[in-house]
Structures are given as structure tokens and as C-alpha cells.
Chain A
Amino acid sequence: MEHISPWVLFFAAIFTGNILLTFFLGMCSFLSVSKQLKTALGLGLAVTFVLTITAALNWVVYYYILVPAGIEYLKYIVFIVVIAATVQLLEMFIERYSELLYINLGIFLPLITVNCAILGVSLFMVIRQYSFIQSVCFGAGSGLGWLLAILAMAGIRERLNEKKIPTALRGPGIALIITGIMAMAFIGFSGMVQIQ
């Protein structure tokens, strides 16, 4: 769909339609890796990076291989293979060339293959018929949106440690309630322009 500006998609993916807070994608690692700001930042950056790259790669694979061959129904398999291979290559590359980057980012890469946000963005891109540029912007925006959400979450959770929380609600329970409140706050972005 060629009429939507890539910039609109980029910002919409961060705020009005946050991939995590509106579409529930990437919840597993969001809940388990959001206990410390530093790790949350590392994982968030790795997700943004991989999301942008795989959105581009999967777009090319889909429109230049799967569609001409008439085997769109295999997209799930092909997309997940492309994602796994990209992550594997990136990991080897980073390990070999930058120890600093490897310590900060590389250790999160294996977690990413199973992050459903990555596959989700590739599937959304196909269903919504985005062009190449739109897909890349949507991927980058979604990644940044996820980063924003997990950073906010980690910041809040670090301060929660000393607070009195009912025993049964500690851990994932309270994290989900905070996520819900964040989601409500983000819905506010979608009403920024008034209808009449």
C-alpha cells in the first residue's frame, strides 16, 4: 500500500500502535528480561537491530522468491529460517569483530529468534502490503517502540524492589499490571488529533 508515508508508519509503530502494548508481541522476553535497566537496554537494542534487518530481508525474500514461485503459504517457515539464520550470522560476526559489542549485545541474540515481535513484524508487513521502504520504517519503529516499552518497564521495576506488594502478585503479576497501565497511557497517543 503505497500511500502511507513511511514516517507516519515509523511513529505510529512507536506510539499509537506499539508492537508490545497494543499487539502483545514479544511478551515473554519483555517480562523476564525487564528487571534491570542495563540488560533491558541491551536486549532492546538487539531487537531493534534484528527487527530492521529481518523486515528488509523477509520483504525481499517474500516478493522476489515466494510470490513468483507461488508458494506464499510457506512464508511462516521461510521467515523463521531467515530470522534464525540472520541472528546466527550476526552473533558469529559480532563475536569475531567486537568483543565489547559482543558482551553488551551478543549475549541477547539467542533470545531473539524466539521473540515473536520479530516474526510478527514480518507477517504484519506482508498482510498490510507494505512497500520496501515502509517495511523497513515499520520494522525500525516497532523495534524502537519495544525498546521504549522495556526500558520504561525496567526503570519502574528497579524501583519496585523495596515496595510492599502482595506476595501473590510479586513478579509477573505486578509487571502485567504495570504493562496494562502503560498500555492505557499509550492509547492516549491515538487520540491526539480530535475528530470535529
Chain B
Amino acid sequence: MWLSKGPGGRDENQNTAVHEHKTGDSMKRALTTVFFMAAVTAVFIAALAAVNELSRSRIRMNTRIQELKSVMYAFDVMPGGMREDALPPNASTGDLPWNNADLIEIRSREFILRSVPVPDSLKPLLKNSFLTTGDSVLIWIRVDSSGMPSAYGFHLRGKGLWGTIEAFAAVNADLSAMTGIDFLSQVETPGLGARISEQEFKSYFRNLGLGRFSHTASGQDGISMVRKKDASNRQVQTHELQAITGATQTCDGVLDMLNTDLRFYLALLRGASGVMQAGTEFSE
């Protein structure tokens, strides 16, 4: 079988040892071999570099569109004529039938990005989280037709079982409920933890109550998870999410991320009365 001999092969090493005295001939052959290998490698690498160069701008565009789709999902902005409850439970954000021009148009019409400075009093909260932002954080603001903010969005960062989980969350203007969440990147186990990116799990974030964050009884988490929820938070508002069976570590990670990061962001937004004025305009 072909497997029985590895690349290069053992017997050939012995060959070289035996024929060492016939230097002239074998030297020439070895040089040809090395030259051949180098030439083939150079040709293939050059071809790959060309392919990479040609697709670079397209891939960068894709990344931007992907982020916008997630932001829209978290803000509960659906592509025209789309009803969210028509989505199958395993749908991901990529399945939404957006067209790129609409995305970019809505982004510039309804959203403002602000870089908001973090006051010293909130620095300790930031330190407890996995957020990597320094002195200021980026806040997405959705404005209604009269120019008043209707929701705020921001990035979350936490750890799952296998690695970093990055998410984008949005809350309503009076900070009483979540508008939605989307997971930007995660590397959890397929079929288990990775199901946080599916519609079913994310649907419980819509209208999730944030009341527990404002009267901060110590030792009580702002959001908790239960094994089975009878109704969505849209129907009956609670501060509970439905966990994924068999993905304990991932769910704990998500919960931890929410409770630490939301505490920080909610405090920041509450403090900066009128975030619209507080921050400086941020252009991408």
C-alpha cells in the first residue's frame, strides 16, 4: 500500500550512504532534484500569491458585509418583507436574504457610530471583563426619523469552552430590555456549543429584561439561564435565556460575558446622559 512508505522513504537514505563514493554522478542528480523542487515550489507559490491578491478586496468587503448583517440582526432590522419567526430554528445570520446595497444604505441612514470615553469610575468594571478596549468604547446608535436614539449597540467579548466568543448586542433606548444579539465569532463544538449562533438560541435575547441590572442587589446576576423556557421573552418578558443541552461550558461563558459586559455598558450609557453629545463622531 502507498502508505507503507513515507515522503522521501527510508530506503533512499541508505542508498545515499552506499553510493557516497560515486560523488560526481549522485551530486549532479541531487542538485537537479533540489533545483526541480525549488522551481516547482516557486511556481506554485507565485500562482497562489496572485490568486490571493486578486481576491483580497472581495474578501475584505465580505467581512464588512458580514459584520453589518450581524449588527442589523442585533438591532432587529430585517431585510424588507422578511418575518423573523419564519426562519427555521437552525438558521444563521448569513441565511438572511440581504442585498449589499440595502445594508449599506440602512447603515448610513439610520445609524451613527460614537467613540465614547470611559469615565474613571467605570474602569474597574472594564477590567473585570474580557473587553480589550482602552480609554473609549465604540457605541452604535440607531436613530429614528426625528433624530432621537431608539437603540444602542456594542461589542461583547467572552470565553467559551474552546476560545474567544465575540458578539454584538443591542439594547433599547431606555435600557430596560435587550433588542437582540448576534455572535460575530466563536469556535465552539459543532452541534453543541456552536449552536449559540442559531436562530433558536438567539431568539430568547429579543426583549430580554434588563431590570435586574439597575437595582444591583449584590450576588445576583442580571441575566440567568434555564433549561426550558415555556414562552419567548417577546410574549412574556423575563430575565432568562434558554440554555443549550450538553453545552454547559459554552452557556456559562456566554452568561458570564453578558453579565460582566452588560453591567459595564449599561452603567456607561446611563451615566452619559445623551451619548449623542458625549462622544466624538467615529468614522470607520
Contact = CB atoms under 8 A, between A and B. Distances in A.
B13 interface: yes
Contacts of A9: 162
A110 B3 CA distance: 7
A3 B48 contact: no
A143 B245 CA distance: 27
Interface string A1-36: 101100001001000110000110000000000000
A129 B6 contact: no
A190 B3 contact: no
A1 B243 contact: no
Given A17-B189, A91-B10, A110 B4 contact: yes
The size bracket of the interface on A is 35 or more
A113 B189 CA distance: 25
B159 A190 contact: no
A3 B159 contact: yes
A110 B246 contact: no
A104 B132 CA distance: 49
Given A3-B159, A195-B227, A190 B249 contact: yes
Contacts of B189: 16-17, 22, 190
Interface residues of B, number: 34
B164 A129 contact: yes
Contacts of A114: 3
A194 interface: yes
A116 B78 CA distance: 41
A139 to B, nearest CB: 14
Given A88-B6, A129-B164, A130-B163, A190 B48 contact: no
A84 B7 CA distance: 7
Most buried by B among A87, A190, A196: A190
A74 B45 contact: yes
A73 interface: yes
A124 B189 CA distance: 11
A20 B22 CA distance: 48
A59 to B, nearest CB: 14
Interface in B230-254: 243, 245-249, 251-252
Contacts of B187: 124, 127-128
B90 interface: no
A135 to B, nearest CB: 11
Contact of A110 (B5, B224, B252): B5
Contact of A191 (B5, B10, B190, B246): B246
Contact of A187 (B49, B159, B161, B246): B246
A133 interface: no
Contacts of B226: 196
Given A109-B6, A110-B6, A73 B48 contact: yes
Interface string B159-175: 10111100000000000
A196 B6 contact: no
Given A194-B248, A196-B224, A16 B161 contact: yes
Contacts of A109: 6
Contact of B249 (A16, A113, A129, A196): A16
A12 B163 contact: no
Contacts of A176: none
A168 interface: no
A100 interface: no
B248 A128 contact: no
A1 B246 CA distance: 23
B163 A95 contact: no
Interface of B: 3-8, 10, 13, 45, 48-49, 52, 130, 159, 161-164, 187, 189-190, 192, 224-227, 243, 245-249, 251-252
What are the nearest 8 A-B pairs in CB distance? A110-B6, A128-B163, A1-B164, A128-B187, A1-B163, A195-B243, A3-B159, A193-B248
Given A12-B162, A110-B4, 16 more contacts: A1-B163, A4-B163, A16-B249, A22-B189, A77-B45, A84-B7, A88-B6, A113-B7, A127-B163, A127-B187, A128-B163, A128-B164, A190-B192, A190-B247, A191-B248, A195-B227
13 contacts: A1-B163, A9-B162, A17-B161, A73-B52, A77-B45, A84-B6, A87-B6, A109-B6, A110-B3, A191-B248, A193-B249, A193-B252, A196-B225
